[in-house]
Amino acid sequence: MLILALGIVSCKDNLEESPYSSLSKEVVFKDEDGLNQATIGVYQAWTAPDFVDISSRFILTESGHRYATAGILGSGADPYYRFGHVSTSGAFEAVWSRFYKIIFRANTVIANAKLAVPGEEEEADPYVAEARFLRGYAYFNLVRLFGGVPLILTEVTSLSDEDIIFAPRETDVAVYDAIIADLNFAEANLPDSRGGAELGRVSAGSAKAMLGKVYLTMAGKPLNKTENYQKAVDKFAEIVGPVNEEKYDFELIPNFADVFSLDNERNREIVLSFGYFVNSSNPNGNILPFNLFPAGLVNGDEQTNYGLTYDFYKLFEKTDTRRPFTLVDRYVFTGGARAGAQEGDSIIYNPTIGNYIIKRTNASLAHDDFKYGIAYGKLARVPRPAGAAVQGYSADLIEMRFSDVLLSYAEALVETGKTALALPLLNRVRARAKATPSKATAAAALRTAIRAERRLELTGEMTTVFDIRRWGTLQQEIAAMSEDQIVDNVLIPYSPRLELYPIPQSQIDANPNLRQNDGW
């Protein structure tokens, strides 16, 4: 820093440069168009090119349970799926940084929106509502991952704002209160639904759905605020049913696979998603197909680092249309010869040996020195666009679907003693999948059925670990794991500290007011 300062002093006094990488708020918020662009920038923060945290967020929310195991090329989820992670593990810093980048941008819009519409400040409210929804959702992810975190709700305008930059951790209750306040404002100031050029932006329907999910989460562990089950019921009731679904433009679309099609993105089942558009300025796109698809499914060079066990495959009925789309148990190899396979080879998963087999040679695909699982396939199976990086796919990142709303609503109804109302919601999801209707009626049986259905319907959609934590079933999940699903056969035993991830050590080191989670 001293060398840099001396260099600046020695420069000519009349040397001036125009900043091309940023704009002042007076320029950005000079009119409503600028405000709109700044608001879109908050959405963009969810999908910015530094894509590693997207893969990391998948790992943190979808590994570490009885059905998670290694992929064909090993396990990118290691050490997370065997609970051997530490506070310096890179995934924590990656997701933490992404969420606070989103919060930073949202705070800037919230603080300056009214500058764009002087004398007509109420016209800024819908944009503020969007920013507050996106901020609230970022905090909803943070509190479920790490517990209480620094609550930064004002704009950072200078490095001298140390009381904001070095904010201490708040309680998880305080964070949830802020989330609810943000979503309530969004619900009151957004249109019921979106269409046309605005399709994909959040709506009052999105806010109601997310509020219901927040209440449901608060009713479970660790808060155990069971009065929130009724709040969840009340909120979900506002968006479920023929009249409400028409009003808020929601639907359980008939064909499960169509939900994820590139030709059908932002369909009526999508409550919240963030768009990926691979182009010359962003060749990276969505990394998840590259990380999750089996090698040769669409391009030939996929790097499968996550798998699901054959026991999970067996949970699905044979008629269930979700099974062949969620789990790629057989496919035709595409792309150049690799991992022992050639273009056109039939690849079939063999559960006896725990490997994919190349039918032509009867040899294992890639590896036979360790067992690995069936690859996850619940994404648009479309080759990456021409010119994209190897990890660059255009599939949107789906954050919440209407089937999640139906199953969450059913769960809240069970917990408030309304089991007769819950069963039709469960069976609506099962009927779409061509699965046998559930006949559970008693609360305990229906609770078990709904939890199992969430696995079948939502695995891989960044819900699994959050469900396990709020249900308080992590200890049972670890007890149900076997060492042969761990590459090095070492499984860390259950400890209460595993109910939360550690605060990234880099943040502890940078902020003297942060304290680490217990046990880490």
pLDDT in tens, 186-226: 999 999 999 999 999 999 999 999 999 999 999 999 999 99
Residue of higher predicted confidence among 462 and 388: 462
CA distance 301 to 321: 27
Confidence of residue 279 (pLDDT cuts 50, 70, 90): confident
Residue range 112-129: mean pLDDT, rounded: 93
| Domain residue extents for the chain | 25-227+499-510
What's residue 105's pLDDT? 96
Instruction: Report the relative pairing of strands 307-308 and 68-69 from DSSP bridges.
Output: antiparallel
What's residue 85's pLDDT? 93
Number of other residues whose CB lies within 10 A of the CB of residue 483: 10
Residue 367 near residue 240, CB atoms below 8 Å? no
Phi (first) and psi of residue 386, to 5 degrees = -60, 135
Q: Is the pLDDT of residue 497 over 90?
A: yes
Residue 118 near residue 30, CB atoms below 8 Å? no
What's residue 21's pLDDT? 52
Phi (first) and psi of residue 401, to 5 degrees = -120, 165
What's residue 78's pLDDT? 83
CA distance 389 to 152: 35
Q: Is the pLDDT of residue 278 over 90?
A: no
What's residue 391's pLDDT? 86
Number of other residues whose CB lies within 10 A of the CB of residue 166: 13
25-227+499-510 belongs to which CATH class? Answer: mainly alpha
Q: Is the pLDDT of residue 126 over 80?
A: yes
What's residue 276's pLDDT? 86
Residue of higher predicted confidence among 480 and 160: 480
First to last CA, the chain: 34
Q: Tell me if the bond preceding 49 is cis, omega within 30° of 0.
A: no
Determine what percent of the chain is predicted with pLDDT higher than 90.
Answer: 78
Chain segment 393-405, per-residue pLDDT in tens: 999 999 999 999 9
Q: Give the amino acid at 72.
A: I
- Strand-pair partners of 169: 150
- Strand-pair partners of 350: 355
Computed over every residue of the chain, the mean pLDDT equals: 92
Residue range 486-504: mean pLDDT, rounded: 91
- Strand-pair partners of 376: 327
State the Cα torsion 219-238-252-45 to the nearest 10°: -70
What's residue 22's pLDDT? 63
Question: What is the token pair recorded at 122?
Answer: 């109420």
Residue range 430-441: mean pLDDT, rounded: 97
Ramachandran assignment for 209, one of left (phi > 0), alpha (psi -120 to 50 degrees), beta (any other): alpha
What's residue 208's pLDDT? 98
Q: Is the pLDDT of residue 27 over 70?
A: yes
What's residue 127's pLDDT? 97
Question: Which string of DSSP letters, residue by residue, matches 180-216?
Answer: HHHHHHHHHHS-S---GGGBTB--HHHHHHHHHHHHH
